[in-house]
Structures are given as structure tokens and as C-alpha cells.
């Protein structure tokens, strides 16, 4: 499908069962593969990104069996992949590419990892530099600092009982996640020092939580030093269920706040380990009515009005919700005042340069946008959204999902809607369950 036309919405209300979290799904798949024992995984996200991880694990010799619609049995390899020579294609799945680079670099095989052209534009030098400190033998097969990569057998830099490594924290949390997940395989006490400001800290909390599920504790001091004790081994917890995706929840919660609601999402709630659950608090700051249970969140417009609008602009440091912050950028179109989203430089290194892409597409809808190196300043159009804008999505699933919310203010065309397959293949079907359009 080349495009999808969304008419103006006339009503927003309903309940959505969320798909499994992408971030948790790919972490759990890799940890289950590395562990001792067999793990049954339930409610796994079905998407391009998880498909790439499942394919890669199978190529590496891991026994993967589908046991139900979104359930798999993974037979752990106890720390060493049986296949020692493989070519792995990982699409644009950063949550698969970065951790696999780290894990394979500490093994004794010969591997080549590649992806789509956009993946080959996403920097990976900071992770490679950190792994080389440990003795990893990694070569760039294209532009230095970027995939594709060749990994040769690991040659430890020292024979002592400890690994010490430094990694930059201000570019991508996935680099630190990769190191954290890989280093227990060495059996040595490992210390990771993080330089610069650690971005997306909640994603590191997520990594540590999943590692604990598989029996490996990690100590940290002020999110700057991480210590993995010696003689650690991943052990299967037996069964594990994936909670709903908090980033995906943001689109439906925003719809409830913009379009009166109520809209309830099920599968994620107050006890979530995902940082993007804090998106609900940002909506509350904007004036939305939010209620939350153990496994659900509900949003609606409050009775208060801000110059005729349900929502008011906010000024927010978005370091803790980098993906969900994109949803705030579109929500800002429906708020009274000027919205400032700060500390979002990591957007430039995602599936596309999201700062530039978001600025371009918001302007099509009539917004005045100031794009900084790490911020967006968004002034909504004074006389409503420009109707029938054709939104380009840049092969970026989150661009398509975010801008679907524009239909709450004007008819809109979403180009290449099928790019949502990366994380949420049936997104538009789910959206139609809660958004009732004028043509209906």
C-alpha cells in the first residue's frame, strides 16, 4: 500500500490490548538463547524486529520452536553459539544488531553482520571502540564507524581476572546494553565506566531487570559505573511473559487525551519496567485525565479548557522517554501554547533523522517549528490543522503511527503506512477500533 487516507475523526473511545514490548522481546530472546536451560516465552511481539532476532538465533544454532501464536520455546546454548561462521542480516533492528555485535565479539567465531541501508548509516563506533578495549577483533566492511561489520574470534587483551571497559553514554543506550548483556559470558568480574551523560536511562533499567530474570545481578553507582560479579551465568527462569509495549501505548493514550476518550490500554500499567510508561505523566501535565492500574492505563480529556483546547503546552526534558516523546510532538498540535521538547538529540540516530523528519512533517500540518540540535519548539497552527497533508514516513514506523493522530484534527494521508510492520504490523487496524471517522 503506497498510502492510507485517514478521514477526520469524529469520536475516540475504546480499549486496546497492546502488543508485546519490542525492547523487552529482543532482550529476552537473546538472554534465553544464551542461558542454560529452556525458556518458554509468551506474548512475544510479532514484528520485523523480532523476526530478525529469531532468524539470527536460528542461524547461530539455537533451537527455536513456536509453541503458540506469540509464544516460543528457546533452547539455551549455555553461553556459546554452536555455529561459528555466519552471515546475519538484521534489517534496521537496532535492538538486535547492537547486542548481537557485543555478544558475538566475545565469542570464538567468524561473523558478518549487515542491515538495510539506513542501518549502515547508524553509528556504532562507540560500541566497537569499547569492545576493542576487551580484545574484540572487529572490522568495518564499509564506512569506518558504521555497519556492516566483520567479527573475528575474540582475543582477550589481558590474562587477569577482571575486564575493565569505558563506553560513551551520550549517543545510544543500546551500546551500554550490549556490553552489559555480553560481559557475563566471560566469567570475569567486569567494570563498565560510562563517560558523558547517559541518555535513555530507563532502557538501561530495563536491561538490568531482564538480566536479573535470568539470574545475573549488576551493581551500579549513579549510572556511571556498572559492576558484574565474576562467575555469572545466565539461567533460564523457565517461563516468562512479555508485558505490553509502553511506546505503542503512547499513540492510543494521546488519542484519548486529544479526542475526549476515554481510551484504555491493557498490558502495561503502574508496575511497568519500561521508561515510556512515564508518557502518561507528560499527558497529565498537559491537562489530560489519567488513571492507572497494575496492568492498564486510561486517558481522557479533562473538563478544564485552555483557550478552548483540552490540552496545554509543556516544556519537558524527554531524555527518559525518547520514543514516546515523538508522540508528544504531534500531541503539541492540539495544545494551547508553545511546546518545548528538550534533550532529544538521540532522535537523529534512529530509523531516520527524526528531528529533521518530524520538523518537516509538522510544518505540512501548519505548525511553526524550530529545530535545534537537541530540541523541538512547536507552535500549533492558529486556525486548525492544514487538511489533506501527505505525510512522508521515511521508512520509520514511529513517524507513521505518530502522524496518524493528526486525523483527530483534519483529514490526513499517511505515505507508506506498511512501515509500521517494524514493531506493530496491525497498528492501523487497532487504531480503527478506537477512532471512529466521519465516513462511518
- E-assigned strands of 279-348? 288-292, 296-301, 311-312, 315-317, 335-336, 339-342
Place of cell 484504555: 264
267 φ/ψ sector (left φ>0, alpha ψ -120 to 50, else beta): left
C-alpha cell at 84: 561459528
- Residue 17 β-bridge partners: 266
Integer angstrom CA distances of residue 228 from 180, 189, 291, 419? 8, 6, 38, 38
Determine whether 323 is an active site residue: yes
Q: Is residue 327 within 8 Å of residue 402, measured between CB atoms?
A: yes
Set 323, 392, 396, 416: catalytic member:
323
Distance between CA atoms of 275 and 264, rounded to whole angstroms? 19
Give one DSSP letter per residue of 74-100, joined into a string.
Answer: EE--TT--S--EEEEE-TT-HHHHHHH
Q: What CA–CA distance (Å, rounded) separates 377 from 366?
A: 14
Task: Judge contact between 87 and 313, C-beta under 8 A.
Answer: no
d(CA 177, CA 36): 20
Closest by CA to 245, choosing from 69, 72, 45, 396, is 45
Alpha carbons 216 and 208: distance in angstroms, whole number: 9
Residue by residue, DSSP assigns 41-58 as: EES---SHHHHHHHHHHH
Residue 192 grid coordinates: 563498565
Cβ-based neighbour number of residue 285 at 10 Å: 16
Just list the catalytic residues.
323
Amino acid at each position: 500500500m503506497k498510502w492510507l487516507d485517514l478521514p477526520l475523526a469524529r469520536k475516540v473511545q475504546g480499549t486496546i490490548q497492546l502488543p508485546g514490548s519490542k525492547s523487552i522481546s529482543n532482550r529476552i530472546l537473546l538472554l534465553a538463547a544464551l542461558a542454560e536451560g529452556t525458556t518458554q516465552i509468551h506474548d512475544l511481539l510479532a514484528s520485523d524486529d523480532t523476526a530478525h532476532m529469531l532468524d539470527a538465533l536460528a542461524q547461530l544454532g539455537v533451537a527455536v520452536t513456536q509453541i503458540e501464536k506469540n509464544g516460543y520455546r528457546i533452547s539455551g546454548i549455555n553461553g556459546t553459539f554452536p555455529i561459528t561462521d555466519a552471515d546475519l542480516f538484521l534489517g534496521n533492528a537496532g535492538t538486535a544488531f547492537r547486542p548481537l555485535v557485543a555478544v558475538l565479539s566475545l565469542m570464538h567465531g567468524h561473523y558478518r553482520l549487515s542491515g538495510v541501508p539506513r542501518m549502515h548509516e547508524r553509528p556504532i563506533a562507540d560500541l566497537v571502540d569499547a569492545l576493542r578495549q576487551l580484545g574484540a577483533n572487529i572490522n568495518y566492511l564499509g564506512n569506518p564507524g558504521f555497519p556492516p561489520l566483520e567479527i573475528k574470534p575474540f582475543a582477550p587483551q589481558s590474562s587477569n581476572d577482571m575486564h575493565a571497559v569505558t563506553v560513551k553514554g551520550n549517543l545510544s543506550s543500546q551500546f551500554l546494553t550490549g556490553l552489559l548483556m555480553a560481559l557475563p559470558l566471560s566469567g570475569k568480574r567486569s567494570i563498565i565506566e560510562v563517560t558523558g551523560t547517559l541518555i535513555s536511562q530507563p532502557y538501561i533499567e530495563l536491561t538490568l531487570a531482564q538480566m536479573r530474570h535470568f539470574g545475573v545481578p549488576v551493581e551500579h553507582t549513579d549510572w556511571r559505573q556498572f559492576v558484574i560479579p565474576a562467575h555469572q551465568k545466565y539461567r533460564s527462569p523457565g517461563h516468562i511473559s512479555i508485558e505490553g509495549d509502553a511506546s505503542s501505548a503512547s499513540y492510543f493514550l494521546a488519542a484519548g487525551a486529544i479526542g475526549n476518550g476515554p481510551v484504555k490500554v491493557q498490558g502495561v500499567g503502574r508496575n511497568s519496567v519500561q521508561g515510556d510508561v512515564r508518557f502518561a505523566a507528560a499527558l497529565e501535565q498537559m491537562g489530560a485525565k489519567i488513571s492507572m492500574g497494575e496492568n492498564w492505563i486510561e486517558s481522557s480529556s479533562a473538563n478544564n479548557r485552555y483557550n478552548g483546547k483540552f490540552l496545554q503546552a509543556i516544556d519537558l526534558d524527554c531524555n527518559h522517554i525518547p520514543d514516546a516523546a515523538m508522540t508528544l510532538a504531534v500531541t503539541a498540535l492540539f495544545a494551547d501554547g508553545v511546546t518545548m521538547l528538550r534533550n532529544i538529540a538521540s532522535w537523529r540516530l534512529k530509523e531516520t533523522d527524526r528531528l529533521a523528519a518530524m520538523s518537516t512533517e509538522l510544518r505540512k500540518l501548519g505548525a511553526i517549528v524550530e529545530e535545534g540540535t537537541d530540541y523541538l519548539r512547536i507552535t500549533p497552527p492558529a486556525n486548525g490543522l492544514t487538511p489533506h497533508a501527505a505525510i512522508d514516513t521515511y521508512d520509520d514506523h514511529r513517524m507513521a503511527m505518530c502522524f496518524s493522530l493528526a486525523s483527530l484534527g483534519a483529514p490526513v494521508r499517511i505515505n507508506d503506512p506498511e512501515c509500521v510492520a517494524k514493531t506493530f504490523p496491525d497498528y492501523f487496524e487497532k487504531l480503527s477500533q478506537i477512532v471512529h471517522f466521519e465516513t462511518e
